Structure 1
Amino acid sequence: MDITLEKASDTNASLKITLTPADYKPEVDKKLKDYGRKVQLKGFRPGHVPASLVQKMYGKSILVEEINSMLSKTVSQYIRENKLQVVGDPVPDRDKADAIDWDNQSDFAFSYTLGLASEFDIDFSELPSVTKYDIQAGEDEINSTISDLQQRFHAHGHGDEVADGDTIYGELKQVNAPAEGEPFSAKTAFPMNQMAEEAKGQFVGKKKGDVVTFVLEDAFPDEKARANATGAPKEDVANLTGEFTFEVDDITRNEPAEINQEFFDKVLGVGAVDNEEQFRVKVAEIIKSNYGRESDQLLRLDIEKALLDTTPILLPDEFLKNWLLEVNEGKFTPEQIDEQYEDFTKSVKLQLIKNKIADKGDIKVEFEEVLDVTRQMVREQFGFAGGENEEMNQTIDRIARNYLMDEKNNGQNYTSTFNRVFDDKIIEYAKTQLTIASQDVTVDEFKALVENR
């Protein structure tokens, strides 16, 4: 076998492969013998079909299959062993392949066009410093969060007058009876937040005992809301229209939870804090933790941007655009490829850079690491707690392994989880090589930074 790489430029090359009988004949002969033992042909006992007949019947197809398999392995192995920065897939010279005379040739020549990324290196010392933002929860943010928590853990109270957001209880009656049957009436509840805005004025300010006359479909245009307000089956509400009366019996509303020990226990758990000062400290920590995840994500994006901005890489643009058109099989036009090409090349360059970093840092991902991440995902998804419960840990392990080894999606679960772990390890390694400056910011300042990204 002869393999030659011919580089036309930094980003374009041809890989030429020549095969002789010594390369493929031993395996082809072996498969022909296997066929000879298994083939069943009328007039011959099993295993006694003449070799010349087996060759005539199956020789060509076996030859083509074996050479195609050998080419695929050879191209992949050559790229891997020579650490070629190939982008896209190798594209075979179809004209040369179609011109092969499989019946008479014994030597075969093949050619593949390769798209290459230009040579590059990562010098962390030349990268600019990257900022990690530490979000500080100010008084306004703490007060706003506590106010939201008071609403979430609200208590129920009663009002003297109907206000927007209340729920009013009373008797609903249809003014005019339908042509057949009795007028509709029911004891029911009206959630004011489901009522049309223009109809709320008829109810706001009313007191217990007041009677409101209104048009039902104007107050509740949505049939689902009308069914909820009347208690009637959904299939019947289309016929519930026209004037109705509603006599107010009771007015209830959600009142913010009082700031007391009961509230502290509901939010943080029993006995976590003993007073409001401690509670505010805990709320500030929660705010910082919640925004901390977003801060980490922003740091990740900034590291990736720094790597892209400081690592010039040339790509075979024409090759890649043609390859994208071909592999997407008519799903995109050349114009659409052009529109999305810049984003695509950023993704390609970033992956090349990360692969280079992995080589520099000798970063590898073991199966157990992928399994650990999947176990944690299972715990979070199903609400399983970690701990010493061996039976539960075995259940978590079994679910995680089944998820990773699911054959229905051709190993995509394992691949996607592996890539996530691999990516995380590269970013963590990059953090140890870069200069990372910390900067305290308020929540509002951080939100502005995120919007600008």
Structure 2
Amino acid sequence: MEIKLDKQSSNQASVKISLNEADYQPKVDAKLKDYAKQANIKGFRPGKAPFGMVKKMYGTSVLVEEINEILSKELNNYLKEQTFKVLGDPLPVITDADAIDWKNQTDFEFEYKIGFVEKVDITLDDSIKASDYKLKVDKKAIEDAVANLRSQYGKMTNPEESQENDFLYGDLKAEDGSYDKALSIPLSKLDGRSVKKFIGVKAGDVIEFDPSKAIKTDLAEILNVEAEEAEAIGGNFIFTIQNINRTEDASMDQEFFDKVFGPDQVSTEEEFKAKIEEILSENYNKETKVFTEEKIKDTLTEKAKIDLPESFLKEWLLKANEGKVSEEDVEKEYPVYAKQLTWSLISNKIAEENEIKAEHEEVIAKTQDMVREQLASSGLGAQMEDNMEMFVNNYLQGNEGQNYMQMLTAVQNDKVLDFVKDKISLKEEKIDVEKFKELIQN
């Protein structure tokens, strides 16, 4: 057996493996003898068929199977011995598969394309500068959050006379008879001129208007029709009011505080707003943490200057996902993939050089945090805490173990980023929400 490496560029190469009869025939014969001992061939007792007959029947398929096993094992072992980092999987170069004479040929040569990077060099010191963004929660953000909560926990009333932002429930009919439905019209969706007709009215009043002109947005949704139908709606409609619905904001009292945060968590308006500010800060700074870390990744990626084998990786992605993606899909998604791959190479190098490893207990803790966040967002929260172990185990055992590996990688990545932040020059920068939105857009 002979293996040759031909480097065609700084990041792509071909590997040729030459096999002669001595490399594979002993294994082929051994397997055929096992077949002969078990073969159940018509006209012969089980295991008593002549070896020559078994070889004639199964020899070619066993030969192909054994050669493929040898190629896979030897290629993997050879690549593990190299100093460079192989990316993706080797791609077999198939010139003419039909040209192989499996029955008579004794010497074989196979070729594979590989993509690699020679080395990953990254030095972490205070010459690398980055901003650690922290969001300041302004009074307007707090007041808006309080207003939304008061509306969310408010009480529904049915006043006699309508006001701005009420909902009017009634029957809407087109004069030509093409439309007739009972529905609720949110006055906040009407334009400035039209809404005047709907303010100060009572149950039983009749209003004439053109919905296509009066309703600014969500016309199809409000009228409960398809978008195509909504485009054709116009002309004079008659709306007969049956009821007026209004949400009165919740009072800033203990009952409201308890509904939002649980019994006896806060007891005054000042404590309530302080709690809102704390939660907003926590939520905002989760976003800024992600943004900060992405910027650090960008900085290290640029500094490392890793030259990826682009043409090879695109070909590998296409073949690895054959039938699932097109060349256009690969071209479109490649920049994102290349960025993720580059960071993965850098992160793994930093972890290897500094013995950074993810522990099982850390994987469990991170998964618990993820599950808690998901439960909280669905309104379940603390009452499901007793079942946390079951949720975590189900998730980590799912997807044939891939979920566990993904969480393991995520934990290691977190630890690497924490390590990086300690080594580089990281300056805290406080910004407001508007500034943060600008940064994200740029």
TM-score range, shorter chain: 0.7 to 0.9
Question: Residue 395 in 1 paired to residue 385 in 2?
Answer: no
Corresponding residue to 1:279 among 272, 281, 300: 272
Corresponding residue to 2:436 among 426, 446, 452: 446
User: Residue 94 of structure 1 aligns to a residue in which SS?
Assistant: coil
The CA distance in 2 between the partners of 1:128 and 1:401, in whole Å, is: 36
The CA distance in 2 between the partners of 1:394 and 1:346, in whole Å, is: 35
The CA distance in 2 between the partners of 1:115 and 1:420, in whole Å, is: 25
Instruction: State the match for 2:231 in structure 1.
Output: none
Q: Which moved more, 1:423-432 or 1:50-59?
A: 423-432
Corresponding residue to 2:414 among 391, 400, 424: 424
The CA distance in 2 between the partners of 1:262 and 1:348, in whole Å, is: 52
Q: Which moved more, 1:260-269 or 1:281-290?
A: 260-269
Correspondence 1:28-177 to 2 at 5 A: 28-95=28-95, 99-125=99-125, 128-159=128-159, 161-168=161-168
CA displacement at 1:386 relative to structure 2:
8.8
Correspondence 1:336-351 to 2 at 5 A: 341-351=334-344
Q: Is the 8 A contact 2:11 2:117 kept in 1?
A: yes
Q: Which moved more, 1:349-358 or 1:42-51?
A: 349-358
Counterpart of 1:115 in structure 2: which amino acid? Answer: G
The CA distance in 2 between the partners of 1:342 and 1:223, in whole Å, is: 39
Correspondence 1:16-415 to 2 at 5 A: 16-95=16-95, 99-125=99-125, 128-159=128-159, 161-168=161-168, 190-193=184-187, 201=195, 203-208=197-202, 211-214=205-208, 225=222, 246=240, 251-324=244-317, 326-327=319-320, 331-333=325-327, 341-365=334-358, 369-370=362-363, 372-382=365-375, 383=380, 385=382, 389=386, 392=387, 395-396=390-391, 398-400=393-395, 402-405=397-400, 411-415=401-405
Change (3 A) 1:245 1:144: closer
Q: Which moved more, 1:88-97 or 1:296-305?
A: 88-97
Q: Is the 8 A contact 1:378 1:399 kept in 2?
A: no
Instruction: State the match for 2:425 in structure 1.
Output: 435
Counterpart of 2:437 in structure 1: which amino acid? Answer: K
Instruction: State the match for 2:232 in structure 1.
Output: none
Q: Which runs of 5+ in 1 are unaligned?
A: 179-183, 229-240, 406-410
User: Residue 448 of structure 1 aligns to a residue in which SS?
Assistant: helix
Q: Which moved more, 1:210-219 or 1:155-164?
A: 210-219
User: Residue 284 of structure 1 aligns to a residue in which SS?
Assistant: helix
Q: Is the 8 A contact 1:164 1:200 kept in 2?
A: no
Q: Which runs of 5+ in 2 are unaligned?
A: 226-234
The CA distance in 1 between the partners of 2:422 and 2:97, in whole Å, is: 50
Equivalent residues, number: 423
Change (3 A) 1:126 1:6: farther
Counterpart of 2:132 in structure 1: which amino acid? Answer: K
User: Residue 416 of structure 2 aligns to a residue in which SS?
Assistant: helix
Q: TM-score, normalised by structure 2?
A: 0.79
Change (3 A) 1:99 1:372: farther
Counterpart of 1:430 in structure 2: which amino acid? Answer: V
CA displacement at 1:62 relative to structure 2:
0.5
Q: TM-score, normalised by structure 1?
A: 0.78
The CA distance in 2 between the partners of 1:243 and 1:143, in whole Å, is: 39
Counterpart of 1:3 in structure 2: which amino acid? Answer: I
CA displacement at 1:51 relative to structure 2:
1.2
Q: Is the 8 A contact 1:261 1:274 kept in 2?
A: yes
**Alpha carbon RMSD of aligned pairs, Å?**
3.9
Q: Is the 8 A contact 2:131 2:426 kept in 1?
A: yes
The CA distance in 1 between the partners of 2:383 and 2:366, in whole Å, is: 13
Counterpart of 2:417 in structure 1: which amino acid? Answer: I
The CA distance in 2 between the partners of 1:446 and 1:33, in whole Å, is: 72
Change (3 A) 1:126 1:120: farther
CA displacement at 1:67 relative to structure 2:
1.0
User: Residue 132 of structure 2 aligns to a residue in which SS?
Assistant: strand
Q: Is the 8 A contact 1:96 1:111 kept in 2?
A: no
